[in-house]
Amino acid sequence: MQTKILDKEVRSDATKNPVDMNYKLRAQHVDAFYGDFQALKDISLDIKANSVTAFIGPSGCGKSTFLRLLNRMNDYIDGFRMEGAILLDDEDIYDPSVKVEELRKAVGMVFQKPNPFPKSIFENVAYGLKIQGIRDKAFIEERVVESLKQATLFDEVKDDLNKPALALSGGQQQRLCIARVLAVKPSVLLMDEPTSALDPISTDKIEDLIYTLKNNYTIAIVTHNMQQASRISDYTAFMYMGRLIEYDKTKKIFTNPGKDQTQNYITGRFG
Amino acid sequence: MNSRVAHRYDDQLFRGMGVTATVSCLAILIIFIGFILYQGMDRLSWEFMTSLPSRFAERSGIYTAWAGTLWVMVCTTLISFPVGVGAGIYLEEYGKKGRLSTLLEINIANLAGVPSIIYGLLGLEVFVRFMKMGSSILAGALTLSLLILPIIIVATREAVRAVPKTIKEASFALGASKWQTIWNQTLPASFGGILTGVILAISRAVGETAPLIVIGALAYVPFAPSGPLDEFTVLPIQIFNWVSRPQHEFVINAAAAIIVLLLITFVLNGVAVYLRYRWQQKLKW
């Protein structure tokens, strides 16, 4: 692909907000540190509800760190601290009054490597409900089936929900992990390279799933796969060395990026 | 000299030394067990198991001794299991990693190497005298618990540490609290390892003599204990007592009692091996 030298007028500022309204999540001047190392530098961006926002950038650029800030998964890391604010539906999730367990029910997460519990398929999906103290068996069963259907896994496993989850294939395990998250009815889904450990066919299925899920969920996804970002996302944030370089509609980022760095990265010249 | 030939000699020499070491260890063990079995097997009978001690060797039995061993074993388990596992989980999952925790870690590992008689002296001073428990089963069990706590703590920490971080993260991400994650994920996944450590520690406690002698466990107890505050004796002390008698008949009694003690420790070790095997089969990540 040929490099296009961009005109001054076409360049957009990274801080310019591509999202007009209906924010689900807003990050305001976020800095994050691991000990002395600053992993995120003054990140501000808004994530639109019921859309897919992709985070791309070379390894170590801070995109996973940022994603994990959104459900406070970094809380347990020794020496980690953050400054700035992250708002979910206009409420600061780092406010001392926020119960982190409640936050995580609203902001679900799917990890890079499928990580089902060493239990049955049913128990995996029911886990999030059971830890909330829900004991109603009929309710749990209904929710498990519903979640498995949503994650397009039900037809493949309906004959034996008591089968160990670890007996499933990698792609099925990842969809199970998605079903497990959906069962607690979050409004936001965070996905940290959810297909990087999967084969192309399983990846396809997950991408289709993401596409259907965005009608009801706000999805933030970290990916190393540029094609994936361009296929599934509505907005794309390009990060580099802990900074947000560019954030815009995906179409714009991949056809007519505002910054040379973005251009160089998406055309594969570095990263 | 050709260096390749030299290497081959080195290899053979080391191999020979290794084989010799292994064989001699096994041989000593086999000779020892064979000798004990030869001496004591005939004496082993239902009557021997159910008789009280006596000054006549042929009328003596080990009823009070194995009953005492059982009591001490159960009490030690009840005390050391919750405390040791709790401490291990705390140190691994809750305690902040820092200089203090490193210091604590090194000290716990060191405690595991302190001679058992030192624990006996501590038990005598603290439990028997200061807390006025007397030479009771409770005092003995507490003393043995101190002795094996470091082993249990270290085993628990290692088992807990082996649980994949991804499993814990998955649990947290679904809104589970720290305790829910430990109870529902970490503990079930590490329980095989924890149990193995606990059982091995208990089997060590069962064989201990010195600390119990120090706290005053008696060699002659005419009745089997009926509660944790009773005086008691245990198999190793009974064996020690019989071995030190001049009459040959008592030495035979000792051999028979050793067979019983060995059986108990072998069974405990066997259970530990089995549990570890089963948990490894069940859990694969």
Q: pLDDT tens, A213-245?
A: 999 999 999 998 899 999 999 999 999 999 999
**A56: confidence class by pLDDT, cuts 50, 70, 90:** very high
Which residues pair with residue A87 across a beta bridge? A26, A92
Amino acid at A95: D
Asked if pLDDT for residue A164 goes beyond 80, the answer is: yes
Q: Which of chain A's residues have a Cβ under 8 Å away from the Cβ of B176?
A: 101, 127-128, 131
Q: pLDDT tens, A2-29?
A: 444 443 333 344 445 666 667 889 999 9
Q: How far apart are CA A140 and CA A125, in angstroms?
A: 9
Q: Which of chain A's residues have a Cβ under 8 Å away from the Cβ of B187?
A: none
Asked if pLDDT for residue A257 goes beyond 80, the answer is: yes
**A29: part of which helix (H) or strand (E)?**
strand A23-34
Contact A115 B166 (CB under 8 A): yes
Who's near B193: CB < 8 A, 6+ residues apart?
A: B155, B156, B158, B159, B162, B276, B279
A113 and chain B: CB distance < 8 Å anywhere? yes
Distance spanning both ends of chain B, measured CA to CA? 52
pLDDT of B84: 95
Asked if pLDDT for residue B198 goes beyond 80, the answer is: yes
Contact B173 A73 (CB under 8 A): yes
Q: Which of A104, A177, A180, A102 minimizes the C-alpha distance to A140?
A: A180
Asked if pLDDT for residue B158 goes beyond 70, the answer is: yes
**What is the three-class DSSP state of A183?**
coil
Total count of residues recorded for chain A: 271
Radius of gyration from C-alpha coordinates of chain A = 19
Min Cα–Cα distance to chain A from B161, Å: 15
Buried b (16+ CB within 10 A) or exposed e, B202-219: bbbbbbbbbbbbbbbbbe
Q: How far apart are CA A119 and CA A169, in angstroms?
A: 15
Interface of B with A in 74-103 (CB under 8 A): 96-97
Who's near B222: CB < 8 A, 6+ residues apart?
A: B52, B53, B64
Asked if pLDDT for residue B190 goes beyond 60, the answer is: yes
Q: Which of chain B's residues have a Cβ under 8 Å away from the Cβ of A105?
A: 174-175
Q: How far apart are CA A149 and CA A183, in angstroms?
A: 11
Percent of chain A residues topping a pLDDT of 90: 76
**A88: part of which helix (H) or strand (E)?**
strand A80-88
**B54: confidence class by pLDDT, cuts 50, 70, 90:** confident
Amino acid at B39: Q
pLDDT of B179: 93
**A81: part of which helix (H) or strand (E)?**
strand A80-88
Mean pLDDT of B31-42: 90
Asked if pLDDT for residue B285 goes beyond 50, the answer is: no
B247 and chain A: CB distance < 8 Å anywhere? no
Number of Cβ within a 10 Å radius of residue B35? 11
Q: Which of chain B's residues have a Cβ under 8 Å away from the Cβ of A128?
A: 174-176
Q: pLDDT tens, B215-241?
A: 888 767 778 888 888 888 899 999 998
Q: Give the predicted TM-score (pTM) of the model.
A: 0.81
Using alpha carbons only, give the angle B225, B231, B235 rounded to the nearest 5 degrees: 75
Longest dimension (CA), chain A: 62
**What is the three-class DSSP state of B191?**
helix
Q: How many CB pairs under 8 A join A and B?
A: 66
Task: Give the residue, B147 or A23, on which the prediction is more confident.
Answer: B147
Q: How far apart are CA B258 and CA B37, in angstroms?
A: 9
**Poorest-confidence range of A15-29, A129-143, A154-168?**
A15-29
A10 and chain B: CB distance < 8 Å anywhere? no
Mean pLDDT of B56-80: 90
Mean pLDDT of B11-28: 93
Contact B175 A73 (CB under 8 A): no
Q: Which of chain B's residues have a Cβ under 8 Å away from the Cβ of A184?
A: 174-175
Asked if pLDDT for residue B13 goes beyond 80, the answer is: yes
So what's the ipTM on this one? 0.86
Min Cα–Cα distance to chain A from B167, Å: 6
Contact B175 A109 (CB under 8 A): no
Contact A118 B167 (CB under 8 A): yes
Q: How far apart are CA B16 and CA B229, in angstroms?
A: 55
| B47-282 under CATH 2.60.260.20, yes or no | no
Q: How far apart are CA B64 and CA A236, in angstroms?
A: 78
**Residue A76 phi, psi (nearest 5):** -85, -5
Asked if pLDDT for residue B2 goes beyond 90, the answer is: no
**For residue A56, what are its two tokens?**
């791309």
A108 and chain B: CB distance < 8 Å anywhere? yes
**Poorest-confidence range of A14-28, A67-81, A118-132, A163-177?**
A14-28
